[in-house]
Amino acid sequence: MAHPHLNHIIVPYSSRLLSELQPGQTLLVQGNILQEAKRFEINLLSECFEAGEWEKEERHSNPFKKGETFDIRIRVHEERFELLANQHHLADFKHRHAFTKIDHMQITGDITLSNVHWGGRYFEIPFQSTFHGHALKNGQRVFVYSIAKGDFSVNFVGANGDFLFHLNPRFGEKQIIRGSQKNGTWGEEEREGKFPLKKGEAVDIAIHNEPFSIQVFINGSHYCSFAHRVEDPNNEYKFLRVEGDIELTGVEVSH
């Protein structure tokens, strides 16, 4: 399902899902908790509600704080929902009813919303896909949603198989390596920058193809710039390839 990104959304918010839920899909909700907040809710309708009475609740410690931003992800699996709060695993919730019957979502409470998004699926690793139009164009952005398990890489690949842009977080070294190949030979590595990742946490990577450089954002914050090492950055990045110890939850390319 490709439910669109929604920005600056009015609360309470309600929406019909565009199609039946599938295992591997994720609901991403981001926003800010009001300073005077008492509670907020995210409901997937046909939730555990029978004959007007709530079924037994499951309770977990609250990781959210008044006045701060929040990031909630609900991923659908065959037997359960996987819940992540601010990039950390919070809980698993076993299905009590068929998740395929869910057709609405509702968000209410003392918050503002900046992003609501349904999408993703299960991905095989390594993952490789051709860019639409046979190349990543200037002005386009690549979004990689994932859970990092260990070292991995996100790559823009050329027609001859060279990794023309290589982004490689290495947990043992606590560095994110950037580099490229030319005719199979690696060029100089770039390693500057702090290491913002932790194993088992959600990681969002956005890569912007700009006229003179690639801009990398990690979890919404600018991380680095990488000057193009190709002659024609409007036509030479042919494929996206993700490999390593990573669980992909979503991949999108803006057009």
Domain positions in the chain are 13-119, 127-253
At CA 249, angle to CA 244 and CA 254, rounded to 5? 100
Question: CA 112, CA 166: separation in Å to the nearest integer?
Answer: 36
Say if 13-119 and 127-253 have the same CATH topology.
yes
pLDDT of 86 reads 95
Quickly state the pLDDT bin for 4 (edges 50, 70, 90).
very low
| Higher pLDDT among residues 205 and 98, named by residue | 205
Lowest mean pLDDT among 48-57, 197-206, 244-253: 48-57
Domain covering 127-253, topology: Jelly Rolls (2.60.120)
Task: Say what the pLDDT of residue 42 is.
Answer: 95
Confidence of residue 47 (pLDDT cuts 50, 70, 90): very low
DSSP state of 137: P
Average pLDDT, the chain: 92
Indicate if the pLDDT at residue 46 is higher than 80. no
Q: Which long-range contacts (CB under 8 A, 24 or more apart) does 47-53 make?
A: 47/102, 48/96, 48/97
The yes-or-no verdict on residue 13 having pLDDT over 90 is yes
Q: Which of 155, 163, 178 is nearest to 225 (CA)?
A: 178
pLDDT of residue 56: 80
- What is the reported pTM? 0.87
Question: Residue 125 — pLDDT band, cuts 50, 70, 90?
Answer: very high
Return the structure tokens found at 207.
Answer: 């890569």
- Mean per-residue pLDDT, 48-55: 58
Fold of 13-119: Jelly Rolls (2.60.120)
Question: How does strand 49-50 pair with strand 53-54?
Answer: antiparallel
